[in-house]
Amino acid sequence: MSSVDPIRSKKPEPEPEKNTLHGRAMENLKFIRETMERASSFTAVPGWGGVVVGITALIAALIASRINDEHEWMYVWACELPLALLIGGIAMKRKASAAQVKLLSAPGRKFTLSLTPPLVAGALMSIALAHVEAYDVLPGLWLLLYGTGVVTGGAFSEKVVPVMGLGFMGIGAIALFAPVVWGNLLMAAGFGGLHIIFGIIIARRYGG
C-alpha cells in the first residue's frame, strides 16, 4: 500500500520588511533623521541665482580682459562684487520664501556668519594690495578667500555647496602661482564657470 503524506499546512509568507513593525519603525526613524538634517541645514542657497551670477562674472571677465590699465581692471571686478551680492541676495530671498524657510533661522545665521568673514578679509586685503600695486595677486586671493567662505558656510547647507567652495579654492591656488596673463581666464572659470555648473546642480536637485 502506498502511504499517503499528510497534508502540510502552508506557512504564511513573511510580510515584506516595510510592512512589519520593525520595517515601519525604521522608515519612521529615517523620516525623522532626514527632517532633522533639513532643519539643521540652510537650504535657501539659490541655484538659478548662482547661474545668473556666473553669467555676469563671464561678462566682467570679458570686459576686464580688454583693459590694460590695472586700476580700471580692478574697478570692473569691484563693480561685479556688489552686483553679484545683490543678485544672490534677491535669489536667496525668493527661494527662502518659496520654501517657507526663514533667512534668519539658526542655520541661516550660521551660514552667513561663516561666509562673511573671508569676504570682508578679501576686501580689506584687496585695498591694501592695491596701495602697493600688487594687482597680480588679486585673482588668486579673491578665488581662494571666496572659496574658503563657501566651504565654511556650506558646512551648514547642502553637501554640494562646500564641494563648490573647494573648487574655488583649487582654482585660486592655481591662480596664485600661474602666469599673470591667466588671471582673467581663471576668474572666468571660477566665478563664471563654477557658479553656472553648480548653480544648475543646486537648482535641479535642491528646488531652485
The 10s digit of each residue's pLDDT in 68-81 is 888 899 999 999 98
Residue 42 is classified by DSSP as B
**Under a CB-based contact definition with an 8 Å cutoff, are residues 94 and 47 in contact?**
no
pLDDT over 60 at 37, yes or no:
no
User: How far is CA 67 from each of CA 62, 76, 102, 190, rounded to the nearest angstrom?
Assistant: 9, 9, 42, 20
Over range 13-33, report the average pLDDT: 55
Q: Where are the domains of the chain?
A: 44-205
Taken as a whole, the chain contains a residue count of 208
The 10s digit of each residue's pLDDT in 123-174 is 999 999 999 999 999 999 999 999 999 999 888 888 899 999 999 999 999 9
pLDDT, position 154 = 86
pLDDT, position 19 = 59
Cell representation of residue 112? 552667513
The 10s digit of each residue's pLDDT in 112-137 is 888 899 999 999 999 999 999 999 99
